[in-house]
Amino acid sequence: MSILSAVIAGLVGTVVFTMIMVMAPKMGMPKMDIVGLLGSMFGGENRALGMIIHLLMGAIFAIIYVYLWGVGIGTLSLLGGVIFGAIHWLVVGLMMAGMPMMHAGIKSGAVEAPGIYMTKSGGAMGFMGGLIGHIIFGAVVALTYAAL
């Protein structure tokens, strides 16, 4: 297992995922502004901080993916990345329901709570957008890590 390669794969996957989120409203999907959500977590709006947190989370999740592949859970393949991405969304989407408990912007009313699986930010389309984004993240991590 190469930690550096996993971090690079996570950063590449996060950048691709972020580009898709930026384009999502232009494709009829709801606005999925995780960078803004993370950047307002401690009060105010700091998009640079939000992007740094998002990139760090992507690197950490890629390290987890690579570790699991390394110990024989799943396979380092396109399908393995897709499956891990879908599972990733099913876990973190649940955590979105808990955001109001720890998010200063939501507590103050400055930021709308995303709801479980982002369903308050677009209903079923929010859920599907998150799922597709995480599947793409997983696929990009797997392909990038394998290439490195």
Query: What is the pLDDT tens value at each position of the chain, 148 positions in all?
Result: 999 999 999 999 999 999 999 998 998 888 888 898 899 888 888 999 999 999 999 999 999 999 999 999 999 999 999 999 999 999 999 998 888 888 988 888 888 888 898 888 888 998 999 999 999 999 999 999 999 9
pLDDT of residue 147: 97
Q: What is the DSSP secondary structure assignment for residue 122, as one 8-state letter? A: T
Looking at residue 92, its pLDDT comes to: 93
CB of 51 closer than 8 Å to CB of 35: yes
Contacting residues for 51 by C-beta, under 8 A, at least 6 apart: 18, 35, 39
Q: How far is CA 89 from CA 47, 52, 104, 117, 131, in A?
A: 22, 20, 23, 8, 6
State residue 100's pLDDT score. 86
* 0.85 surpassed by pTM: yes
